[in-house]
Homo-oligomer: A and B are copies of this chain.
Amino acid sequence: MARLTLETPADVRLLDSGISVGEALAAFNAAYPDAGGIATFLGKVRPDEDVRVLELTHYDPLTLPGMRELADKALTRWPLDGVLVWHRIGVMHPGEGIVLVAAAARHRRDAFHAVDFLMDYLKSAAWLWKREKRADGWHWIEPRAQDFADRNRWA
Contact = CB atoms under 8 A, between A and B. Distances in A.
A85 to B, nearest CB: 15
Contact of A39 (B33, B41, B97): B41
Given A38-B42, A39-B41, A41-B38, A33 B21 contact: no
Interface string A41-60: 11110111000000000000
Chain A contact residues: helix, strand, loop or mixed: mixed
Contact of A33 (B36, B43, B95): B95
Number of copies: 2
Interface residues of A, number: 33
A26 interface: yes
Given A22-B22, A150-B109, A29 B48 contact: no
Contacts of A33: 47, 94-95
25 contacts: A21-B25, A21-B29, A22-B25, A22-B29, A25-B25, A29-B42, A29-B97, A33-B94, A33-B95, A34-B46, A34-B47, A34-B48, A34-B95, A35-B44, A35-B46, A36-B43, A36-B46, A37-B41, A37-B42, A37-B44, A38-B42, A38-B44, A39-B115, A40-B40, A109-B150
Interface of A: 21-23, 25-26, 29, 33-44, 46-48, 94-95, 97, 106, 108-109, 111-112, 115-116, 119, 150
